[in-house]
Structures are given as structure tokens and as C-alpha cells.
Amino acid sequence: MTHRTATTSLLRGRVTLLQPEKGFRAGLDTVFLAASVTAKKGQHILDVGCGVGSAGLCALARLPDGVQLTGLDAQSDMIALAEQNAENNGVAGRCRFVSGNLKTERQVPDNAFHAVMMNPPYQEDGTHLRSAHTGKAMARDEGGTGATLENWIKYTHKKLKQGGMLSIVHRADRLDDIILHLTKRRWFGTIAIYPLWPRKGENAKRVIIRARKERYAPIVLHAGIILHQKNGNYTTAAKKVLEAAEALDFIKDEGSY
């Protein structure tokens, strides 16, 4: 499928993206997910459901030179855009993008990645009316690709090295499902939860979750970050992530394993 595309930018122009004019588009969730990923020079990160490469490219813009990125997406046309975006951002030599369904693909090696990031579909299949737009349905609805949240977490467990770190951005009201699937087979532990508060005094709609493969410590609920001032402008703390490409404050000193 050929999409009409438009050029957008993230991180104050440090990352430029060709994206479809219609369908899922990268935004705040993408940048905050990227800000939760840690890796050292020579290490390898995986972006599952990478779309046009937005989260992975934002992560590379902050991480040391020499960090390698692999992206997986079920839509081959998104992979073509991801490859073009990597070229346009001068990091094509550090990137590999693979087209495939996470339930069946065999091109991405197991036990190979120091960090994995994912922005899985937020809506559980059968709980809402699915979008008629294929791209939106695949990005937002678990039924779009036939992969459940448990399938996504199982896949990332296979791909991470022992002790590697998984980063997830998701809806706050599905936090119970996420913790259940992370822990019920002891796939992950050492879970850190970082709420994204829309405004002071409002309930969180999004959370960042980080969990380590087969490493166990008590869950930590961090203070999180308030995104907007009363007038709608971003807070100073949010601007540090969205414009200055800083890491989220709760991982700055944590590093990777």
C-alpha cells in the first residue's frame, strides 16, 4: 500500500519523520517511551511495533554513538518509511528494520538485545468498535494483528538478553493487565512504574513501565511527571524530555545492565 506522507519533527528537529497523512502518528507517547530506554555504546535495542521508526530514532538521538537499533512491524509499508527515516536522519548504518508479525517472524534473533521498547495497541480486542482505517486498527487494537498484550510481552522476553530491560508505554487503566503478564510466569521483575499526569490534580492516563528480564525486586511506583501547566503549555520537566531529549529522571542514574 502506498501512503501519502507528511514530514514532521520531534525533539525540536533532532528527528525528522516521514509519516502517513492518515493513520497512527508519532507524538508524546513515542518520545516518552524513547526517553525511558537506556543502552551503552555497542549495545543493541529492539523496537517492537516500530511503525515508521519514530521511537527508536528518538532513542538513538539521545543514546551514545554505536548503539544499534532493530525495528519490527507487521506493516511492510511502515518498514519502508522507517528505512527512509533512518537514512534521512543519518543513522541508517546503525538500524535494521524487519517486516513481520511478532507471533510468527523468525528474522529477529532471540536473547540478543540489551533493551526492548514497545508501544503495543492500547485497546483490548472486542472491547470497542475497531477503526475502519487499517493502520489505525493495527496500531490501536490488539485484534488488528491478532497479538494480545500477553503475546507482546512473551515476545520481548524471548528477544532480551538475561537481565535486559523492557520499556512499555501504555494506558494507565491497563496497568493491572501489564503487571499480571510481566510476572505470572516470572518472565520479568524489578518493575518500575512512572505515571504521566496530564495536569496537576488529574488522574494519569498513560504510564511508562520498565521491567528487567528475570531479575526480581519490589515494584517501585515513582512520582512521575506532570505534562501540562494550567494554561495548556508543557511544564519545564516535560520540555526537558520533549525538546531537549533528556532521559526520564527515574532512569538517569540507573543505566543498563
The predicted-structure confidence for 32-46, as pLDDT tens digits, reads as follows 999 999 999 999 999
Q: What is the mean pLDDT of the chain?
A: 90
Residues 6+ apart with CB under 8 A from 49: 72, 73, 74, 102, 118, 119, 120, 139, 152
pLDDT value for 136: 47
> Position 186: which residue type?
R
Q: What are phi and psi of 25, to 5 degrees?
A: -130, 140
pLDDT for the residue 144: 62
CA distance 112 to 99: 18
* List of domains in the chain: 11-251 (3.40.50.150)
pLDDT tens figures, 148-174: 999 999 999 999 999 999 999 999 999
Please determine, for residue 132, whether its predicted confidence score (pLDDT) is greater than 70. Answer: no
pLDDT in tens, 54-108: 999 999 999 999 999 999 999 999 999 999 999 999 999 999 999 999 999 999 9
User: Of 150, 209, 160, which Cα lies nearest the Cα of 181?
Assistant: 150
Query: Where does residue 13 rank: exposed (0-12), middle (13-18), buried (19+ CB within 10 A)?
Result: exposed
For the chain, what is the total number of helices (H) and then of strands (E)?
7, 11
Q: Which residues pair with 68 in a beta bridge?
A: 44
Check whether 251 has a pLDDT greater than 90: no
Task: Specify the pLDDT at position 99.
Answer: 97
